[in-house]
Copies of this chain bind each other. A is one copy, B any other.
């Protein structure tokens, strides 16, 4: 049995999916990802709410991170509700019923050579 690690509420204040890309897809498609790790023995039911600068939030988008699995969810591919717009600033709140760990990554391939950023997201105390 795996002891859980992580928290149930996470936030990523930075969000921006570049509007265009260079190179073969899907590897070099400009994208942002919330990588979610669930080491517990229970499936994690996760919601992502997307915040903007000029309108009410979108979502919640729903996904499942099965027990002992990771899901690297591209914001570009959130599809059960409206798609996340390209070239627009956003932020996100990730909530789960079991503790998970969240990391934020962007690959920017607008130019011939790609650029990367990544950070562990902010974990709520609760």
Residues of B within 8 A of A72 (CB): 14, 16, 53, 89
Are the C-beta atoms of B13 and A37 separated by less than 8 Å?
Answer: yes
Decide yes or no: A115 and B118 within 8 Å by CB, A37-B51, A52-B69 being known contacts.
no
Complex-state Cα separation, A100 to B104, whole angstroms: 17
Copies in the complex: 4
Are the C-beta atoms of A13 and B36 separated by less than 8 Å?
Answer: yes
Q: Does A46 contact B (CB under 8 A)?
A: no
Q: How far is the CB of A46 from chain B (nearest CB, A)?
A: 12
Are the C-beta atoms of B112 and A116 separated by less than 8 Å?
Answer: no
Produce 1/0 per residue, A96-126, CB < 8 A to B.
0000111111101011111111111111100
